Amino acid sequence: MAVKDTRVGAGRGLQGITASNSNTRISATRIPSRSATQAAPAPLVSDNLTLNSERPRAAMVQRLQAQGISNDLVLAAMQAIPRHAFVDEALASRAYDDASLPIGHGQTISQPWVVARMIASVCEATMPKRVLEVGTGCGYQAAVMAQVFQQVHSIERIRALYDMAKERLRSLRLTKVRLVHGDGMLGLPSVAPFDAIVVAAAGIRIPEALFMQLSVGGVLIAPEGSGTQRLVRVTRTGASSWDRQELEEVRFVPLKSGLQT
C-alpha cells in the first residue's frame, strides 16, 4: 500500500495546554477569532432540551471559532446539538466546558474542539455524503455529524453504550443515524465505501480495513499512537494509494478489538 506522508501542525508556535483526561487535544494553536462579534449560528434542533442551554452552547461555539474552527456547517451543528443531553445529569453543568467527560464503562465524551476539528477536517476538499464513525460512545459526535452529512453510520463495541446512544438519539428524534453494535476495527463492509471515516478511539496503527473502505477521494481521520497520540488524516488518492497527514497531538481512549456485551 503506497502511503505518502506529510506532517502539518508542528512547529507553528504551539501553546502547551496539558490535559490529563481523554479525547482531548494536548497542545492548542490559539488562533484569534475572526468573527468574535458575529452572532452564533441558529439552532437546527427545536426541542425543550435546547432552550436552557442555548447561551452556554453559543459561548462554546464562539470559543471553537476562536480556536480556529471556521466551517459554518460544523459550527451550526455544534450549536444545534444539546451536549448536556449526552452526559449524566450530575455532569450537565459542565457539558459546555472545553473538556472530555466520563460516560461510564471507562469511556469519555470527546472534547468539543476534538469533535469539531475531526468533522471539519473531513470536509476540507469535498463534502462527504456517506460517513462512518468508529466509537459511538454516548452518541454525541454522531448527532453532530447527522446535522452535517446526508448518511451517518456509527459503530460501538460496548453493548451498554450502544443501547444508551440509541435511546438518546431516539429521544432527540435523530433517527437518521444508523447505529451498529460491532467491532469498528473491521469497519462496516456491508455499507462501504464511505466518503469519510471518523475514528473516535486511538490504536497504535489505524486498522487497514478502514483504509480499504474509503471511496477514492474519501478522507479518514483518526488518532494514532500509544503513548503520544496524534490526529492523522488519510485521503484515498487511488485504488491502491493513500496520502497521510499528521495533525495535532491528542489523547483518546484506546481502540479495542472484539465486542463487550
- Name the minimum Å distance from CB 36 to ligand SAH: 26
The interface region with ligand SAH, picked from 70-78, 134-142, 145-153, 171-179 by CB under 6 A, is 134-142
Binding-site member from 24, 141, 147, 245 for ligand SAH (CB under 6 A): 141
Is residue 255 within 8 A of residue 203, CB to CB? The reply is yes
Residue 155: count of CB within 10 angstroms of its CB: 23
Long-range contact pairs involving 46-49 (C-beta distance under 8 Å, separation at least 24): 47/82, 47/172, 47/173, 49/82, 49/84, 49/85, 49/172
Q: Which amino acid is located at 207 in the chain?
A: P
The interface region with ligand SAH, picked from 40-48, 122-130, 183-191, 230-238 by CB under 6 A, is 183-191
- The verdict on 85 binding ligand SAH (CB under 6 A) reads no
- The verdict on 224 binding ligand SAH (CB under 6 A) reads no
Q: How far apart are CA 199 and CA 181, in angstroms?
A: 15
- The verdict on 156 binding ligand SAH (CB under 6 A) reads yes
For 205, counting Cβ atoms within 10 Å of its Cβ (0-12 exposed, 13-18 middle, 19+ buried), the class is exposed
From the list 110, 121, 215, 240, the catalytic residue is 110
H or E element: which one contains 23? none
Binding-site member from 62, 110, 147, 213 for ligand SAH (CB under 6 A): 110
Between 11 and 67, whose beta carbon lies closer to ligand SAH?
67
Cα four-point dihedral sign 1, 255, 213, 187: positive
Binding-site member from 108, 121, 229, 245 for ligand SAH (CB under 6 A): 108
The residues of the shown chain that bind ligand SAH, judged by CB under 6 A, are: 23, 107-110, 134-138, 140-141, 155-158, 161, 183-185, 200-201, 253, 255-257
